[in-house]
Amino acid sequence: MEISLEDVRHALVELGRLRFGEMGVEEAIREIVATTHSMFAVDGAGLMLTDTAHHLRSVAASDDRFAHLEELQVRHQEGPCIEAYDTKELIGATDLEQDGRWPLFSKAAVNREVRAVLASPLPYNQDAVGVVAVLSERSRPWSPANELALLAFTDLAALLIASIIQGEQQSELAGQLQGALNSRQVIEQAKGVLMGTQGISARAAYEQLRSRARAERRKLPVVCAEVVQGAVRLP
């Protein structure tokens, strides 16, 4: 079923009440995910937030198979949701069986009956704190209307996430997000150090840092802090 702009408008009007209602933020996020699932007529939809180790963890999912995205991407440290989070760009995969961008993840995902994914980064203060994604068990081209709809739902979810972080009532989730944002700053600083000293791109700098963290079996923010401290000590 193809999504029309009228479908998007109607769904956002209905969901707009979440911003002003008495529903809790976590419940509102689940409502957004459920509406996204039904509107896209997909096999799964969900919202992932980053933890302090910068692993994307599922907060709300409309289908159990969405947990496969979390499990497989954390295990292989690659995939469309991770790329959307890292690059802060909308990432689509129409057929993972034919897609060579994430070979380890894609092979495992197809074995779990996940063939197509559309992932949108969740913004906060010019950074990303998570991803909203939909998946299909069959190959599926994602139309411009699909992309627009997911971006709109992502923006609504971002407003709710901001209310968690900025709200007066601090929660465990708010603490997790603030910790992730703090460690993200260290990662960006370390990327800047490598870009300046080695003349490489931001993407290459990030891959170098992540590869070092995996090889040394240490958390990415710890490795990045060492890189930054090393640069500070240089004359």
* 158 and 211 inside one domain: no
With respect to residue 233, please indicate whether it lies within any of the assigned structural domains. no
With respect to residue 122, please indicate whether it lies within any of the assigned structural domains. yes
List, in order, residues 6 or more apart from 203 with CB less than 8 Å away: 86, 87
Looking at the chain, the whole-number percentage of residues with pLDDT higher than 90 is 28
For residues 24-32, average pLDDT: 76
Looking at the structure of the chain, the number of domains it has is 2
* 145 and 182 inside one domain: no
Higher per-residue confidence, 14 vs 156: 156
* 221 and 155 inside one domain: no
**Least trusted range by pLDDT, from 25-34, 161-170, 182-191, 211-220:** 161-170
Supply angle C-alpha 148, 81, 70, rounded to 5.
130
The last residue of a domain, from among 139, 166, 193: 166
Bridge partners (DSSP) of residue 119 are 91, 133
* 183 and 222 inside one domain: yes
Residue tagged 């700098």 (tokens): 205
For residues 47-72, average pLDDT: 83
Domain of 97, CATH number, reads 3.30.450.40
> pLDDT-based confidence at 184, cuts 50/70/90?
confident
With respect to residue 216, please indicate whether it lies within any of the assigned structural domains. yes
pTM of the model: 0.77
The helix, strand and coil proportions of the chain, stated in percent and rounded to the nearest 5, come to 60, 15, 25
Q: What is the pLDDT of residue 51?
A: 80
* 111 and 193 inside one domain: no
**CB count, 10 Å around CB of 39?**
21
Q: What is the pLDDT of residue 171?
A: 64
Q: Does residue 97 contact residue 115 with C-beta atoms inside 8 Å? A: yes
For residues 205-215, average pLDDT: 87
**CB count, 10 Å around CB of 70?**
18
Output the CA–CA distances (angstroms, integers) from residue 32 to 28, 131, 168, 204, 224, in the order listed.
6, 13, 23, 34, 35
**Distance from C-alpha of 20 to C-alpha of 175, rounded to nearest angstrom:** 23
The last residue of a domain, from among 140, 166, 192: 166
For residues 139-144, average pLDDT: 90
* 90 and 182 inside one domain: no
> pLDDT-based confidence at 16, cuts 50/70/90?
low
Range of the domain at 222: 172-227
* 45 and 106 inside one domain: yes
Residue-wise pLDDT tens digits, 95-126: 999 999 999 999 999 999 999 999 999 988 77
Output the CA–CA distances (angstroms, integers) from residue 100 to 93, 95, 193, in the order listed.
10, 10, 30
Q: Does residue 179 contact residue 37 with C-beta atoms inside 8 Å? A: no
**Distance from C-alpha of 199 to C-alpha of 138, rounded to nearest angstrom:** 41
Residue tagged 């802090």 (tokens): 225
With respect to residue 234, please indicate whether it lies within any of the assigned structural domains. no
* 155 and 180 inside one domain: no
Closest CA to 119 of 106, 129, 133: 133
**Distance from C-alpha of 138 to C-alpha of 110, rounded to nearest angstrom:** 9
Q: Does residue 105 contact residue 73 with C-beta atoms inside 8 Å? A: yes
